[in-house]
Structure 1
Amino acid sequence: MAGSVASAAAAQKAAKLHSLNGLFAIYKKQGPTSADVLNTLKDKLLKEADLKQNSKKRKKQILKIGHGGTLDSSASGVLVVGIGKGTKMLGTMLAGSKKYTTVGELGKATDTLDATGTVTQEKAYDHITKEEFEEKLKKFTGNIMQVPPLYSALKKDGQRLSVLLKRGHEVEAKPARPVTVYNLSLTDFSPPLFTIDVECGGGFYVRSLVDDIGKELSSCAHVKELVRTKQGAFTLDEHVLQEDSWTIDRVAESIQECAHLLSPEPAFKKPRTDPCHTSDAGNGEAGDEKEQS
């Protein structure tokens, strides 16, 4: 009797899981890749519904799930997830605006442009003032050209550049490409550390920004901490599900609660030119995806 009741409950959970369609946001903690986090979410949902996934048959996946823009493994924050038919909506997340708060460190450059890499250069930074820093930020606001990091998920011959580098292959930098920065502000200046908020469009790398700022200040710099605080209309403070809430019922509720957020963003946002403006929420880096897994 107890077994049949349990089976019926699992069947109801499975039916509800299969009925889920839409977008919601989860919290990605520092450490795992975005792919790792997504797999953990998927495993928890399938286990709750007493279902098993056949990983060898991609076309017969019993749960369709994906994310709308990777965060570095060393970064944390908002990760938008599509489930069921919602996976077809993830493209809007890649193209939409994103907000990040990053802590950078002056005086040291690394090969990955963040704290996970090997220090490749050290330079003085005691000549840099807050006023000079804010003035230099103006150069990085608006429509600019940016060279993506070597350690990235961009591909060469079908292989991610980061993977090729880890295997010892020589990799050439990708050419500079146009990106957009809507807001950029210095919120703390305590050398060698500084904190900036950035709102940007798709394809933007915060690691490249921090590296470029260091060079512009006749020094060098790398990212120490990175948090994505907003992706599209999904914010860190209001919409993300923490890992202890990764259940079928909470995902269903979140999809419903967030449905009103999915109206299209304006096709064009005018970049601000005041670097002292503090972003209201604080992308990985909008696409700062060393792994983009």
Structure 2
Amino acid sequence: MAVSEAAVVLPSSVKADPGAAAATAATSVTRATVAAAATMGPEAQVSKAALATKLLSLSGVFAVHKPKGPTSAELLNRLKEKLLAEAGMPSLEWSKRKKQTLKIGHGGTLDSAARGVLVVGIGRGTKMLTSMLSGSKRYIATGELGKATDTLDSTGKVTEEKPYDKITQEDIESILQKFTGNIMQVPPLYSALKKDGQRLSTLMKRGEAVEAKPARPVTVYNISLQKFQPPFFTLDVECGGGFYIRSLVSDIGRELSSCATVLELTRTKQGPFTLEDHALPEDKWTIHDIAQSLELCASLLPAELALKKPKSEESHEQGLSCAYITLNEPKGDDDVTKTL
């Protein structure tokens, strides 16, 4: 899991005098907006400037609904661009600045093939994201018995096939206890974990030799079998930070003297945020809707959370990856300019 953070750039005067940040930001936003929208009428220009000022004032943590397809980083860029467009902040103009004031990031990477809750921090809320990494998460996962892939999910190449016809529902239920509590788990090779500063998944896609990371301690609070219709089975899993559902499903298949891979994966809960109650769909990715969501979500978090400092570099090595991405760069997990 990883926290990814992107920053929009502003004049250095905004950051140099925190006490006057709001006023300076408003002035800077107005200049950028007017320069890009010279053909707008006066009322439209004032409206855009007000929206930009409101965007810069947003701070806290909220949740969005990530669909299948994009990576978490790509989704973050999509969210960022929608907000900038609404506020009338042109990318070309803003990419020339040197200092960052608007920060937006996600806490807890979801695979591109997965959907569900993605926690987002904006402004000072990006400093809260490390706490989301270690919090509990809940997933609904559908696995397929008798088939293994190199990515441990349906996006990969089939590497093995084994019989599964003798496996019963009772067989699966009886072994789930082995995967409950404090256990050791080997992370998948295709993951956001890094070697020499590069993601393992990136190295694998390049065809480079990658050694599996050693097994590490993880926690499963609860796991239950929701449905079994061979070769498919559905699990409801509540776990702690750093846990990989793909590895769990693969390990279950191996424990049953067969193999298994993930077909569908949905994160239904991360920390206090649930998919049903808190995750904003894309049509709600507006400055107004996010401001409302920040107010609602503030009551879900402990009061002291906002005062926490970012964790040490040791935590970063375990899965915290913060990056500043300028607006004129290509998008993607690999296109980061600075890792903190």
What TM-score comes out, normalization by structure 2 length?
Answer: 0.76
Report the Cα distance in structure 2 between the residues aligned to 1:63 and 1:111, rounded to whole angstroms. 39
Report the Cα distance in structure 2 between the residues aligned to 1:264 and 1:96, rounded to whole angstroms. 16
Aligned position for 2:166? 127
Deviations along 1:41-87, one digit per CA (max 9) or x if unpaired, are: 00000110001346867962352100011100000000000000000
Write 1 or 2 for the structure with the bigger share of helix: 2
Aligned position for 1:66? 105
Aligned position for 1:256? 295
Aligned partners of 1:53 and 1:61 also within 8 Å: no
Report the Cα distance in structure 2 between the residues aligned to 1:161 and 1:10, rounded to whole angstroms. 42
**Structure number with bigger Rg:** 2
Aligned position for 2:53? 15
Q: 1:18 to 1:223 in 2, by over 3 A?
A: same
Q: Runs of 5+ in structure 1 lacking a partner?
A: 266-286
Looking at both structures, which has the greater relative contact order when contacts are Cα pairs under 8 Å and sequence separation is at least 6? 1
The aligned length equals 269
Report the Cα distance in structure 1 between the residues aligned to 2:88 and 2:169, rounded to whole angstroms. 56
Aligned position for 2:43? 5
Matched, 1:244 2:297: no
Could you tell me how far 1:90 is from its partner in structure 2? 0.4
Q: Letter of the aligned partner of 1:49 in structure 2?
A: A
1:152 counterpart SS class: coil
Aligned partners of 2:151 and 2:188 also within 8 Å: yes
- Map 1:36-185; keep pairs closer than 5 Å: 36-53=74-91, 60-185=99-224
Aligned position for 1:30? 68
Q: 1:68 to 1:59 in 2, by over 3 A?
A: farther
Aligned partners of 1:65 and 1:83 also within 8 Å: yes
**Percent of aligned positions with the same letter in both sequences?**
68
Report the Cα distance in structure 2 between the residues aligned to 1:121 and 1:264, rounded to whole angstroms. 50
Aligned partners of 1:53 and 1:62 also within 8 Å: no
Q: Letter of the aligned partner of 1:68 in structure 2?
A: G
1:64 counterpart SS class: strand
1:261 counterpart SS class: coil
Aligned partners of 1:153 and 1:292 also within 8 Å: no
Aligned partners of 2:74 and 2:333 also within 8 Å: no
Report the Cα distance in structure 2 between the residues aligned to 1:172 and 1:56, rounded to whole angstroms. 38
1:172 counterpart SS class: coil
Report the Cα distance in structure 2 between the residues aligned to 1:238 and 1:143, rounded to whole angstroms. 29
Deviations along 1:95-118, one digit per CA (max 9) or x if unpaired, are: 100000000000000000000000
Aligned partners of 2:138 and 2:267 also within 8 Å: yes
Report the Cα distance in structure 2 between the residues aligned to 1:175 and 1:56, rounded to whole angstroms. 41
Aligned partners of 2:60 and 2:121 also within 8 Å: yes
Is the deviation greater in 236-245 or in 44-53? 44-53
Aligned position for 2:33? none
Deviations along 1:242-280, one digit per CA (max 9) or x if unpaired, are: 000100000000000111111289xxxxxxxxxxxxxxx
